[in-house]
Structure 1
């Protein structure tokens, strides 16, 4: 048996465990796309109030990313994973009193705690993908984990709909009585209790698993100095902004599509996130096949941004009464007859899929010893997921724009990504 074969065999079980964790991360994240319109219907929320459901989840990254790194240094990677899932379990249990009392603030608290647990879990689990296995195949492992994460985004809304939403399809577009509201709210209790128990069992299993402990890196003596030096590189600083606006549009496309579908009277609004995630998975696979074999990373990023601009304008100015796309792509194969605007939002998944993997190497290029600091700064870009839906909610609440017009907030985001693809990533100094 060769050393390489032995290494692959030794890393198989740890990578299988990590794969499960990436799926759990994706499942809990993209469940928000179904939860948001469901709570909007139950609690009779405005678009802005509904956007706070996503804001409270993603804002946790901003406040807990650095503390999570500190926790990992103190307890180790494996214990950090278990602790992150334990926090997610607590979040799942918090949904029970939130559903029973129908207090919006409790739902927001549960979302905040869920985001906190996810941040800790991500901080602990991501290094395993790179460091458990040969360095030359790290990119392939990252791609597989990305597909698992987005694949969970396809499945999560379907599970939510099957367990919770199917019983209440006839209530879309109707004024609910208090009895009906209570019934719908209580429908959340058993599924979230089951999810909490499952995550708790998984946390215990990870704690007792044969996951090897990764060697801790030595702390930098001057974090502030490292950060300032890293941000002196325009390609990195602009890359952080690019990832911020990217995550903003990714979350808008994935998590507001169900709320928009609810406003159009679509009964299966809970599964709409699956459409966007399916397009993201397809885009991810296309990226793996084409980059860099047929197309460079900057050019792929440029094409993604241009596609995002075109789709955004088509969504804002499109007709909700047109079903041309569905009549060609879905209805002949037994699919749902959905408005063009909804499917155009789902197609944003294709535009968004390869932005994250394209920006990272461009932003970190030439950083040398500052690479780890640059990576930490790029992770902070995930906070865009908190603010993108918030701006969409504010724009949607205006009488002149409405939900459909609110998607115009994505236009400057895609234009900035286009700028980064064409020029931003090439900038070596701020003076040029």
Structure 2
């Protein structure tokens, strides 16, 4: 498939639907984490095993997914990915019936496995279906689909699992006798049965629809576009790719920390769960605003590389403000500490980072495109590891103080945006950078 075919619109529209599913499955965890913490009586660290179980699958499955896609093709691979996700959603039914947190984690790992397969297939489509200098635009459009679903999903799930009067019930749970407490917690956890049963059915149907859709398979370049004089035989011979995978690790981990921790952070300021549940949607809304701005400015006004640099610097600035600013404010009906609104603005800062990293990291890979994409997908395990680190320090230091883990994330992203993506060779004795600043 070439970059100039006019029928690229149809494949991209299909991929938009896939990215919507990504968002729906991914960002619903922001509600599941505080919900499971209450219903399964967990510490902060234990509650963030939700994110760990979901995202560690990316580390396990990404490279096998690349080989599977190479063998059976992208369409069949995406169909299988949807069906694996459906199986994971179905596991929530017995998990809820037994109130087994570890069975829930197994279901989340299975959903993440299917999602990793889908991600490995879908992201290269967005990168190559069009001119490279407009890749960030296309990725931003996909990001809007992803984050729109992310806004909708927690609100829909909250309708099923959060009922009027739950605020008073949650306050009363610690003072209940053991038998009554067990009964209440069992009733709370079983509320996930209906929504996840519906999700399992929908994902199964989507797999069938993808299989019979007009979405074509991608053919990788033969490899003659690799820079002359370089005979890379391993992915490690592409420093910009390897460093890009680390950048993905820090980017997605910092993004998930912000979204998945903001509800407990809002609750620490005295907000009830029904009120706090909207804050992940605020972050995703500011992310969409960033996407729209990027689409309108790239590449005519600024390059996607410049957008990446601006966003990484903003991420560091907002992280420092979260740690250093204090004071109560009332904004759009919420009385909170001002720092939470800098957390919301991290969504804007994060908006163009993913879109900036992918085309830079996949540039000039030739026949290694699919394996390169799978390596970047492996970087999504940052979603699993970094929230656990945050959860540990949240237990030890406090919710606000634990946000120091964001600082090294954005410092590395700044390095990649300004220098890391231009690294040409690992050797310190050869010229290390290429391209213009």
TM-score in terms of structure 2 length? 0.85
Whether 2:174 is the aligned partner of 1:178: answer no
Q: Distance in 2 between matches of 1:13 and 1:360?
A: 22
Identify the residue that residue 194 of structure 2 maps to in structure 1.
190
Identify the residue that residue 39 of structure 1 maps to in structure 2.
36
Q: Decide which structure has greater helix share.
A: 1
Identify the residue that residue 383 of structure 1 maps to in structure 2.
381
Whether 2:266 is the aligned partner of 1:269: answer no
Please report the RMSD computed on the Cα atoms of aligned residues, expressed in angstroms: 2.9
SS in 1 for 2:277: helix
Q: Measure how far apart 1:312 and its partner are.
A: 1.6
Whether 2:240 is the aligned partner of 1:243: answer no
SS in 2 for 1:256: helix
Q: Distance in 2 between matches of 1:49 and 1:113?
A: 19
Whether 2:314 is the aligned partner of 1:316: answer no
Cα deviation code 1:24-47 (max 9, x no counterpart) = 111101111111111111112111
Q: Distance in 1 between matches of 2:372 and 2:71?
A: 22
Query: Structure 1 pair 209/373, CA: closer, same or farther in 2 (3 Å)?
Result: closer
Q: Measure how far apart 1:200 and its partner are.
A: 1.4
Q: Measure how far apart 1:367 and its partner are.
A: 5.2
Query: Structure 1 pair 105/290, CA: closer, same or farther in 2 (3 Å)?
Result: same
Q: Distance in 2 between matches of 1:351 and 1:193?
A: 35
Q: Is the 8 A contact 1:315 1:344 kept in 2?
A: yes
Identify the residue that residue 236 of structure 2 maps to in structure 1.
228
Whether 2:154 is the aligned partner of 1:157: answer yes
Q: Measure how far apart 1:112 and its partner are.
A: 0.4
Q: Distance in 1 between matches of 2:223 and 2:413?
A: 33
Q: Is the 8 A contact 1:323 1:338 kept in 2?
A: yes
Q: Is the 8 A contact 1:34 1:271 kept in 2?
A: no
Whether 2:115 is the aligned partner of 1:118: answer yes
Whether 2:413 is the aligned partner of 1:406: answer no
- Uncovered stretches (5+) of structure 2, i.e. residues with no partner: 175-180, 225-230, 433-437
Q: Measure how far apart 1:359 and its partner are.
A: 2.3
Whether 2:203 is the aligned partner of 1:199: answer yes
Q: Distance in 2 between matches of 1:370 and 1:349?
A: 32
Cα deviation code 1:5-57 (max 9, x no counterpart) = 9x64x555544332222101111011111111111111121111111110111
Identify the residue that residue 347 of structure 1 maps to in structure 2.
345
Q: Distance in 2 between matches of 1:35 and 1:299?
A: 36
Whether 2:255 is the aligned partner of 1:255: answer no
Q: Which moved more, 1:202-211 or 1:145-154?
A: 202-211
Q: Measure how far apart 1:298 and its partner are.
A: 4.2
Identify the residue that residue 418 of structure 1 maps to in structure 2.
414
Q: Measure how far apart 1:149 and its partner are.
A: 0.9
SS in 1 for 2:359: helix
Q: Which moved more, 1:260-269 or 1:29-38?
A: 260-269
SS in 2 for 1:385: helix
Q: Distance in 2 between matches of 1:127 and 1:428?
A: 22
Q: Measure how far apart 1:393 and its partner are.
A: 0.8
Query: Structure 1 pair 302/130, CA: closer, same or farther in 2 (3 Å)?
Result: closer
Identify the residue that residue 18 of structure 1 maps to in structure 2.
15
Q: Measure how far apart 1:360 and its partner are.
A: 2.7
Q: Is the 8 A contact 1:37 1:270 kept in 2?
A: no
Q: Distance in 1 between matches of 2:132 and 2:311?
A: 28
Whether 2:210 is the aligned partner of 1:212: answer no
Q: Is the 8 A contact 1:154 1:274 kept in 2?
A: yes
Q: Is the 8 A contact 1:92 1:195 kept in 2?
A: yes
Whether 2:58 is the aligned partner of 1:51: answer no
Identify the residue that residue 91 of structure 1 maps to in structure 2.
88
SS in 1 for 2:48: helix
Whether 2:142 is the aligned partner of 1:145: answer yes
Identify the residue that residue 428 of structure 1 maps to in structure 2.
424
SS in 2 for 1:180: helix
Aligned residues: 411
Q: Distance in 2 between matches of 1:130 and 1:307?
A: 25
